[in-house]
Structure 1
Amino acid sequence: MLDYAALLEFWLSFGAPANIYEVDSSVEPLDDIVELAQLAGMSGADPSAWNEFGPLLEIEQEPYLCTVFRPSRAVRLVDTGRWQVDDGTAHLDLTDSEATFAAVQEAGFLRLLDEDQFALSRVTRLNVATAERGQPAGDERVIDVGVVLTRQRDGLSFLGQGGNVVMYLGPDLRPTGFERTARRIAGVREAVSGWRGLDEVLAELDAYWGPWFGGTYTIEDVQLGYLELGRLEEQEIIQPVYAIDLNLAGGGGSDDAVPESEFLVQHLTPAAQNGFGPLMPSLEPAEEATRQE
């Protein structure tokens, strides 16, 4: 839990210049993707061979499957014969540093990083083991490693489901798949004119959550970073936000009170004085639907 003094210290640490960026809307969903798929091993990735499934474009050439998410222009390619597949003997015994080095090398070869800066977010490992009923697991092995690289700009990290390059590595440290959710940025829309103050943000929290959850809340954590949305969401601008982790406690302020309960939520709000919002959905109750006889 962060008290007011801790929050104020966090707010006073801001000061570095930042920007509001424009997402490149001129990029077509398949721009550069065909070349990328071919570079990854899909020799038959012809532009006319893609299949449309709602917001997705897909092309399959054994053993590869490449998917483009049109709303965000994110791309994912996996080797279905190797990605998260256990051959019964393989084991990746390597450190996070070794996995990261291999992932950055492969991502660079595939030109997934462009001219952006990325930093290691985390390394994941897919574990398998043998087991018999009533017996502890044995022969534990790591068969796939995922290295998540998160984009950095102006000294800030990217928050949200986008802004990442993920490399999946097999036992030979060669990619079994990859994903890029970092959108292409056209340039600076405008510079951040200043940061919104702590008291203004606290007043927003009270106004937003108070009427609908009349108990108390505590602030567990606050992050400042650029918000990038997920694969299936359109986005025109990328701006700095405060991501505030709240613990809502107590009863609700409506007739449907929730006694002695706690809920963990994240509140997103523009950090720049000239930011674009609101970012949170309306809490107004939807009109009740009526059945037509």
Structure 2
Amino acid sequence: MDYNTLRQRWDALEAPASIYEVDPSLEPLDDTVELARHAGMAIPAREPSWSEDGVSMRLEHDAHTLTVYRPSRAVQYVDSSRWQVDDGTSDMHISDTEAFDAAVREASRVGLMEQNDFTPFRVTRLRASSCVRGQSPRNPRVIDVGVILKRRLDGLAFEGQGGNVVMYFGPDGSLTGFERVARRVSNVRAAVSGWRSLDDVLTETEDHLRLRRDSDFTVEEARAGYLELGRLQQQTVIQPVYVLALRLGGTHREPAEPERRIQHAIPAALNNVAPLVPSAEPDIPQTPRYSAE
């Protein structure tokens, strides 16, 4: 994407947004034990016994395991007797629309949605097949379906490994597992005072990667959203970011060198709380190097 085209699209990414505090409490949802019961765990009426390690708490009963991850307060449930288990014959035939409907229905029933806005994002299918050494796999079958629901806030989608609910279904269409990585927001730390300019973002991206646009990389897409990290990462604020889809190589790429693509996230608000990743020391002063002139 050339600079002028990118600049035309840049202004459209701006939207009303805020920087939010993350609720520091360990409990990911109102009643984690009740959540597990809704998912199918036959937890005894007495006080459940949790096992703990440095990063997680686990509640186990028969083949069922409920895990709460301390850094993110993410919650994960798996029925290991059925989750991604191949019975040797089953083949799931379910459309994306049917899978999305089932995921929203089950996530609401179990209690994973709360007051958050989640929208259908992607359906994944786990396949199994038989094969003979030296021959291609035969008779592929779908044995498990995973449905990703992406979180939205202020009309913006979430970026990163978090900000989602994933629901898993077995061949009979029943729930076999789920994962929610969607941190609770406690309050607004500050409204976004303004959005960073394209020139500023490109300059910081070049300095961080120690590469130059066009000669070393090309921007293929730019989007804005809220960043949420994965289940093993701590995060104190939810704030907006720009995400640049970059193709590395450019005109300096050797013919035999394969192209690489990366997603680069960078704080979007003028009053952002902190850099998302440490910036490399720039080899030249950080002054704008771009102009529409």
TM category (shorter chain) comes to 0.7 to 0.9
Identical counterparts, % of pairs: 51
Amino acid at match of 2:10: W
Distance in 2 between residues matched to 1:30 and 1:44, nearest whole Å: 17
SS at match of 1:89: coil
- Aligned 8 A contact 2:207 2:279 in 1: no
Aligned length: 278
Amino acid at match of 2:93: D
Amino acid at match of 2:277: M
Q: Does residue 24 of the first structure (1) align with residue 23 of the second (2)?
A: yes
RMSD over equivalenced CA pairs, Å: 2.5
Aligned residue among 242, 257, 264 for 1:267: 264
Distance in 1 between residues matched to 2:263 and 2:278, nearest whole Å: 12
Deviation string, structure 1 residues 165-191 (Cα, Å, up to 9, x no partner): 000011221100000001111132221
Deviant stretches of 4+, over 6 Å: none
SS at match of 1:13: helix
Distance in 1 between residues matched to 2:264 and 2:207, nearest whole Å: 12
Number of the residue aligned with 1:287: none
Number of the residue aligned with 1:157: 157
Number of the residue aligned with 1:166: 166
- Aligned 8 A contact 1:72 1:235 in 2: yes
Question: Within 5 A, what are the aligned runs for 1:224-263?
Answer: 224-249=224-249, 261=257, 263=260
Amino acid at match of 1:24: D
Number of the residue aligned with 1:9: 8
Distance in 2 between residues matched to 1:43 and 1:85, nearest whole Å: 21
Change (3 A) 1:53 1:198: same
Distance in 1 between residues matched to 2:97 and 2:146, nearest whole Å: 12
State the 1:221 CA deviation: 2.1
Distance in 2 between residues matched to 1:139 and 1:98, nearest whole Å: 23
Distance in 1 between residues matched to 2:11 and 2:206, nearest whole Å: 21
Number of the residue aligned with 2:176: 176
Amino acid at match of 1:128: A
Question: Within 5 A, what are the aligned runs for 1:44-63?
Answer: 44=43, 48-63=48-63
Number of the residue aligned with 2:117: 117
Deviation string, structure 1 residues 75-96 (Cα, Å, up to 9, x no partner): 1111110000011221110100
- Aligned 8 A contact 2:17 2:191 in 1: yes
Change (3 A) 1:282 1:14: closer
Deviation string, structure 1 residues 120-157 (Cα, Å, up to 9, x no partner): 11100011111223443322211100000010111211
Deviation string, structure 1 residues 45-83 (Cα, Å, up to 9, x no partner): 765511112201112111101111111010111111000
- Aligned 8 A contact 2:28 2:183 in 1: no
Distance in 2 between residues matched to 1:31 and 1:207, nearest whole Å: 44
Question: Within 5 A, what are the aligned runs for 1:64-213?
Answer: 64-210=64-210
Change (3 A) 1:193 1:86: same
- Aligned 8 A contact 1:117 1:153 in 2: yes
Distance in 1 between residues matched to 2:35 and 2:154, nearest whole Å: 28
State the 1:250 CA deviation: 7.3
Gaps of 5+ in 1: 253-257, 285-293
Distance in 2 between residues matched to 1:30 and 1:121, nearest whole Å: 22
Amino acid at match of 1:3: D
Give the TM-score taking structure 1 as reference length: 0.86
- Aligned 8 A contact 1:250 1:259 in 2: no
Amino acid at match of 2:39: A
Deviation string, structure 1 residues 187-232 (Cα, Å, up to 9, x no partner): 322211111111111221233233799x622212222110000001
- Aligned 8 A contact 2:207 2:280 in 1: no
Distance in 2 between residues matched to 1:114 and 1:208, nearest whole Å: 38
Distance in 1 between residues matched to 2:182 and 2:243, nearest whole Å: 19
Deviation string, structure 1 residues 225-247 (Cα, Å, up to 9, x no partner): 10000001111110110111223
- Aligned 8 A contact 2:71 2:234 in 1: yes
Number of the residue aligned with 2:221: 221
Aligned residue among 271, 274, 279 for 1:277: 274
Distance in 1 between residues matched to 2:136 and 2:207, nearest whole Å: 52
Comparing 260-269 and 7-16, the one that deviates more:
260-269
Distance in 1 between residues matched to 2:162 and 2:209, nearest whole Å: 26
Comparing 47-56 and 30-39, the one that deviates more:
30-39
Distance in 2 between residues matched to 1:73 and 1:186, nearest whole Å: 14
Number of the residue aligned with 1:43: 42
Number of the residue aligned with 1:291: none
Distance in 2 between residues matched to 1:157 and 1:100, nearest whole Å: 17
Distance in 1 between residues matched to 2:208 and 2:63, nearest whole Å: 49
- Aligned 8 A contact 2:219 2:246 in 1: yes
Gaps of 5+ in 2: 282-293
